[in-house]
Structure 1
Amino acid sequence: MIPPTVLVPRRLIAIGGRGPEDVVADARGRVLTGVEDGRILRLEGLAEPDRPRVQVLAETGGRPLGLQLLSDETLLVCDAERGLLRVDLGSGVVRVLADSVAGERLRFCSNVVALSDGTVYCTVSTTRYPLARWIGDIVEHTGTGRLLRLAPDAEEPELVVDGLQFANGLVAAADESFLVVAETGARRLTRVALSGPRAGHTEPFAENLPGMPDNMWRDAPDVPIWVALAGPRVPPLDLLHRAAPAVRRTAAGAAVRAPFRPTGMIGALAYDDHGTVVHHLAARHSRYRMATSVCETGGQLVLGSLWERGVALCARPAG
């Protein structure tokens, strides 16, 4: 791991909603995000000195998390309450692509990626806890995260990988031969082969990350994979994860009842397709907390957060 350079949010922008958990940029430099009350927003003019324009594009009726742009007019949305959605950004019409898997309700759908052949993959963070109690799964270390595949024209997704530790961000390799899944609860990125005799096989892509990885973003094959670090490594939590299941369940029950406030540690990593770090940015005492996503547009980085009421703009590292 290369030494970090300082990540400084140089501008905080209120967007009229709480929890822009994922941020993605379109071809025109506009940023899309979903907020706590179910609205899908588009932010335009982030580089301008005045407050950017915020447009409501749709309402999911649930809680949008991970986003994937198919075009300037079509957006895939992982909704923690409603499942995998497709949104027409022109009309605001929301269509449910999948809300169940193997006869069970699809809940806590977390992040999504679409391949060139129309296949859609999405993560499920946990089958044990709802979004409002996410910290319970991080503490209990349930390993109930999943990777699902929705084939073109299929009515229901199929299970590709289970046993993941809070499956979260998701991105495809440049040649689409594998996916990279962020396992927040294990502080690692996992590679999942998509083709050949090892299809479906998992192996480490990057381990022992300096913080908890969340959403990932890439908008073209020739750019790195950006990974947001939502919080720091917590050594007592690492020890707890080695305890007996009953001990972890008891600790999780206490965690979900305790008030939560994120630390000021945030970060962002950028990887190439070989798992080599090309950028490492970190802040120990940031005013902007719990950075759950990062994207790049207009020569700057945009951070999103499950906690904050807006996005943060940061300088993009050189090189």
Structure 2
Amino acid sequence: MASIVPYAIAATAILAAALLYRLETFEAVALPEHELARMAAPPLVVPNRNDKLLRGSERIGEGKLVGPEDIAYDPKTGLIYTGGDDGWISKVAFKDSAAESVAEKWVNTGGRPLGIVHGAHGEVVVADAYKGLLNISKDGVIQLLTDEAEGLKFKLTDAVDIGPDGTLYFTDASSKYSIEHAFLDMMDGRPHGRFLSYDPSTKQTTVLLKDLYFANGVALSHDQTFVIVCETAMLRCKKYYIQGPQAGSVEMFVENLPGLPDNIRYDGHGLYWIALGADPGLLRMLQKYPWIRKTIAMLDKYVGRPKTEKNGGSVAVDLEGKVVAHYYDAEVSYVTSCNKIAQYLYCGSLISSYITRLDLTRYPTTATATPST
């Protein structure tokens, strides 16, 4: 009789789990076949890499910042602006010595500032996950620019860049899930993201692209003819033409990235730097099986999921969309932005209390054994 007890307990647990699964309202869907085919392609082989991003790195503003998600450099003042999970936009005066660098709180948006870009008149434009697209004057006055398009409120305003005429290009990562539930958007399998523009002269918000899989970082191209938009859940970045004969069209910029792309920055010297939150190994597998994605979403909701994110960092991509260098570390995750300033790479994070800085001249990449063809 006693030998039956463990089987009875196991059967009860299985039945309870099956019932819970059926009752759970969250549903994941299968990805379209063409998207699965793209995801099945092997990740890019990068010709140069540094897999010890933390070796030799410094911590800027440690203890003064709370999840410094994006990094915007103002060459006029020499300051870095970044937004934290506590709602504060901070100014960071960085020095040759990390210990001498100073982080100072400036303005609190009352939300969760993510993407940041400098305007032409000393203002800072912020994509706030909760509030929408905000303009902050040099005197610290906050103005809401837009928080909806086509009758649909933004749910997770994410990244922003500015065009030569002052037009703002930005993303609403998900029209369904807020930042607290961003993981569910990744598990969902439906494309809820949008890429938009805001014209400050007409105050008009326009949806440029919809049905994006977690629309994330944006960056104006080096020649100002297109904007690059990252799709985190699909490991790729697209380019949307804003000028020339191809205006209004979209094509691939880079795909099969070796990590989950977040923000993207152009360094002014021929390279775009794409932050990679973590390696794509688990996501690639999960995209194939909606029932596993639903199960993991349930674990996240009721129990908590184990931390599997690793190998976060950044890739440098040339003007043609070719990845030329990869910086990462097994101990790093949730890297959200990387901005190259002089010889340093400054990386923001969703979870850390500092900005990571690496001297690229002292700690460069080295050639991999199998260069890309």
TM-score (norm 2): 0.78
**Mapped pair 1:39 → 2:88:** yes
Q: Using the alignment, how far apart are the partners of 2:250 and 2:299 within structure 1?
A: 33
Structure 1 residues 49 and 191, CA, compared in 2 at 3 Å: closer, same or farther? closer
Percent identity of paired positions between Structure 1 and Structure 2: 28
Compute the displacement of 1:262 (Å): 6.0
**Equivalent of residue 58 in structure 2, options 7, 11, 23:** 11
Alignment of 1:1-319 (within 5 A): 1-9=46-54, 10-13=57-60, 14-27=62-75, 28-71=77-120, 73-89=122-138, 91-220=139-268, 222-235=269-282, 237-244=283-290, 248-249=293-294, 251-257=296-302, 258-259=304-305, 261=307, 263-286=309-332, 289-317=333-361
3-state SS of paired residue (2:119): strand
Query: What is the CA–CA distance in structure 1 between the aligned matches of 2:50 and 2:337, rounded to whole Å?
Result: 18
- C-alpha distance in structure 1 between counterparts of 2:217 and 2:306, whole Å: 22
Unaligned runs of 5+ in 1: none
Number of equivalent positions: 313
Letter in 2 for 1:255: D
For the residue of structure 2 that corresponds to 1:163, the secondary structure is strand
SS at match of 1:242: coil
C-alpha deviation, 1:154, in angstroms: 2.7
Q: CA deviation at 1:121?
A: 0.8
Whose helix fraction is larger, Structure 1's or Structure 2's? 2
Deviation track 1:2-60 (CA, whole Å, cap 9, x = no partner) reads 24223423212314232101112220432110001111001113422534212222111
| In 2, Cα distance between equivalents of 1:180 and 1:7 | 28
- Matches of 1:170 and 1:113, distance apart in 2: 6
Asked if the contact 1:20–1:311 (Cα under 8 Å) also holds between the matched residues in 2, the reply is yes
CA contact (8 A) 2:65 2:103 kept: no
Q: Distance in 2 between matches of 1:161 and 1:250?
A: 31
Q: For the residues of structure 1 that align with 2:225 and 2:285, how far apart are their CA atoms?
A: 35
Q: Deviations over 1:234-258 (max 9, x none)?
A: 24x32332335x7645543443442
Partner SS state of residue 300, structure 2:
helix
Q: Distance in 1 between matches of 2:89 and 2:358?
A: 22
Larger strand proportion of the pair: 1
Q: Which amino acid aligns with 1:41?
A: S
Contact preservation (8 Å) 2:275, 2:315: yes
- TM-align CA RMSD: 2.2
Task: Verify the 8 A CA contact 2:214 2:231 in the aligned structure 1.
Answer: yes
- Asked whether the 8 Å contact 1:47–1:298 carries over to 2, the reply is no
- The whole-number CA distance in structure 2 between the counterparts of 1:242 and 1:154 is 44
Q: Aligned partners of 1:119 and 1:43: how far apart in 2?
A: 26
1:96-146 CA-partner distances (Å, limit 9, x unpaired): 111111122222111011111111110111112110111111122321111
Change (3 A) 1:48 1:85: same
8 Å contact kept, 1:23–1:304:
yes
CA contact (8 A) 2:348 2:356 kept: yes
User: CA contact under 8 A between 1:7 and 1:314: conserved in structure 2?
Assistant: no
Unaligned runs of 5+ in 2: 1-45, 366-373
Once the 2 structures are TM-superposed, how far is the Cα of residue 277 of structure 1 from its aligned partner? 2.1
Q: 1:226 to 1:162 in 2, by over 3 A?
A: same
C-alpha contact (below 8 Å) 2:226/2:241 kept by paired residues: yes
Question: Using the alignment, how far apart are the partners of 2:63 and 2:120 within structure 1?
Answer: 23
Aligned-partner residue type, residue 301 of structure 1: L
Question: What one-letter code is carried by the residue in structure 2 that aligns with 1:307?
Answer: I
Q: Residues 76 and 241 from structure 1, CA distance in 2 versus in 1: closer, same or farther, beyond 3 angstroms?
A: same
Relative to 1, partners in 2 of residues 1:113 and 1:260: Cα closer, same or farther, differing over 3 Å? farther
SS of the residue 1:191 aligns to: strand
Which SS does the other structure have where 2:182 is aligned? helix
Residue pair 2:222, 2:266 contacting (<8 A) in 1 also:
no
Contact 2:58 2:98 in 1 (8 A): no
